[in-house]
Every structure is written in structure tokens, then in C-alpha cells.
Amino acid sequence: MVTVDTTRTAVPARRIPMLLLGVAALLLCIVLSLALGARSVPIGTVVQALFGADDSRDALVVTGMRLPRTVVGLAVGAALGLAGAVVQGITRNPLASPTTLGINHGAGLAVVVAIYALQLSRPIEYVWFAFAGAACAALFTLTLGRRAGDLDPVRLVLGGTVLQLVLVSWTSAVLLFSERTLDEARFWLAGSIAERDLGTLLPMLPTLLIGAVLGLVLAPALNTLALGDEAATALGMPVGRIRMAGMAAVVLLAGSAVAVAGPIAFIGLAAPHLVRLVLGNDHRVMVPGCLIAGPLLLLAADILGRIVARPSELEVGIVTAFLGAPLLAVLARRSAR
């Protein structure tokens, strides 16, 4: 059984307005996500559609297409943001993310193989293959990261990086071998919440909720873990079990998110840094804050992808990759300093 540090100190009151500001920004993104697209819908129509007071064509677009897409974006963004906070906490590496552990690429390979071998054609058909691939990749990275029975943060990240390269090469080989598989898988591999309905999300809700609860429970322990393994052990922390529990939370959260929306990069990396910049390094505040920052970043990127190429749109995974590359360079430079 995992135990956590039960020490409690008051959360500074000055952080409360920042949390409220984050919630307000998220609510604004939700409204914009319902209103903007290839065809913009007035805010009044959006409100009336949500309360069932309008049955016009625009209202049907809001309730039938954009509302499920926004709900999926909220769940996926929250899962990726929380997973990023936990993985950075257990590895004490500010550049760690679910992608670093090979989760995205493990899911991608599993989906590509399933499409190729089983002739699948709809996301709902291969959602469990994606989750299984993500879980297997994370478990393999976990095995590579163990040393003397405990998880080593450096070996964990290095093992995930090596696994990424292997999985990418295998996925590319399958795609080059089968043109049909490439046609079916490329939309999912780009990472998108478009055309994702609640039927795709519902099978993953139990794993999302279990992972979220586990990640939130571990938040106080991550504060102690940040002091270093020796100090945490001296304070009575079961460091190895904390990291194992953290990895389980990351697998459940990121695996579920990738299964639903495809491999969306940089949300798990950027959300913890954004929260840390605003709220500080206290994981008791930072980890729950990622439940706001994750969907905020994802919905903002999705909205941007809809309006920059009207009447077409860019998948959210393309937008996050385009914006995340310079962010990664900045973070790497700051970490080196």
C-alpha cells in the first residue's frame, strides 16, 4: 500500500484569484469552442441551444457536433495535463511528459497494426488497441527504468526515449507496407478531437477517473519526492512505491487520452510549466491546476486550428506540435541554466 505525506500547510490565499482566473479562461474557451468553426454561431444561439430553446440548424451544429467535441477536449486535456504533472514529479525532470515514456508511440503502433491486421476503419473499433499499446509501452519503459528494484528517474526517461525511436521505426514500416493502413490511420495519428463523440469517450471514463484520483492523491508525496530520494527516504517515504503508483496514474490517464484522441503532443509537457509559472512548485496546487491548464491549452489549440484554415481546419495535434516545438526549445534552454 502506498502512503503519502500527510503534512498540511495552508495554501497561500494569493493563489486563489489565479485559480479563478484560470477557470474563467477555461469557460471562455468552452464558449468559443461551441461558437467557432467553419461556420460561426452567435453566442446567444449557443446558450439557447444548450438549454433546448432553439432547434435551428446552428443549434443542431452546437449540440450535435461541437458540444461532444468540446467535452472530449475537456477530458483529454485534463488527462494529459495531469499525467504530465505526475510524470515530471516522479522523474524530477521538467522535460518529461507522457510522450517521453513512449505512451503515444506505443498507442500509435498498436492502432496501425490493428488497422492493418483486422481491417478496422472507425476510432471506436480500435480505441482499446490504442490503450493496450500505450500501457504495454509504459510497462516496457518501466522495466527499462528499474534499477536494484526501484525506479531510476534518469533510466526511466532514457528508456522511454530509446523506445520511442524503435516504435516510430516499426510504425513507419507498417505504414509504408500498406497504403490502405496509411489512409485509415493518418487522421488518428495526427491527433484530433474532431468527429469524436461521447461513445468514444465513455469506454475510457473509468480508467480516466481512477488515474485522476490516483494522481491527485499522490500530489503531497510529490512535494517530498522533489527533495531528492535520500531526503524523501529519510522522511519515511516509500520512494519506489510512490513512483510505481505515479507510473500507474500516468498510464491510465495518458493511455486513455491517446486512445480517444490520438497522440497529441506537448499538452502534457506545457500544462505543468504553465501552472508552475503562475502558482509555484507546490504539487498540492500545481497538480490540480493542471486539470484546468490541460483542457485550456487543448481547446485553445483546437479553436486556433478551426479558424486559421477556414473553411477547412487543422487537427489539434498538428497545432500543438507546431506551437510546442519552440516551447520545447525554450524549456530546454531554461533547464540547462
Three cell numbers, residue 76: 483529454
- Angstrom distances, CA of residue 292 to CA of 72, 76, 289: 14, 11, 5
**237-267: pLDDT as tens digits:** 888 888 889 988 998 999 899 888 988 988 9
Whether 6 has a pLDDT exceeding 50, the answer reads: no
Average pLDDT across the chain, whole number: 84
> Across the chain, where does the E strand assignment appear?
146-147, 150-151
Three cell numbers, residue 203: 469506454
**76-117: pLDDT as tens digits:** 999 999 999 999 998 888 878 888 888 888 988 998 898 888
**135-193: pLDDT as tens digits:** 898 888 878 877 655 667 778 778 888 888 899 899 888 888 888 888 778 878 888 89
What the chain holds in terms of domains, given with CATH numbers, is 28-336 (1.10.3470.10)
pLDDT of the residue at 337:
56
| Cβ atoms within 10 Å, residue 211 | 25
Question: Full-prediction pTM beyond 0.75?
Answer: yes
**Side-chain-facing half-sphere of 289: CA atoms under 13 Å:** 27
CB of 215 closer than 8 Å to CB of 287: yes
Q: Quick one: CA dihedral 71, 76, 81, 83, positive or negative?
A: positive
- Write the CB contacts of 278 (distance below 8 Å, at least 6 apart in sequence): 18, 22, 289
Place of cell 506540435: 321
Q: pLDDT band at residue 2, thresholds of 50, 70 and 90?
A: very low
Three cell numbers, residue 105: 508511440
Q: pLDDT band at residue 5, thresholds of 50, 70 and 90?
A: very low
pLDDT of the residue at 3:
44
Whether 7 has a pLDDT exceeding 80, the answer reads: no
| 16-20, 123-127, 215-219, 312-316: the lowest-pLDDT one | 123-127
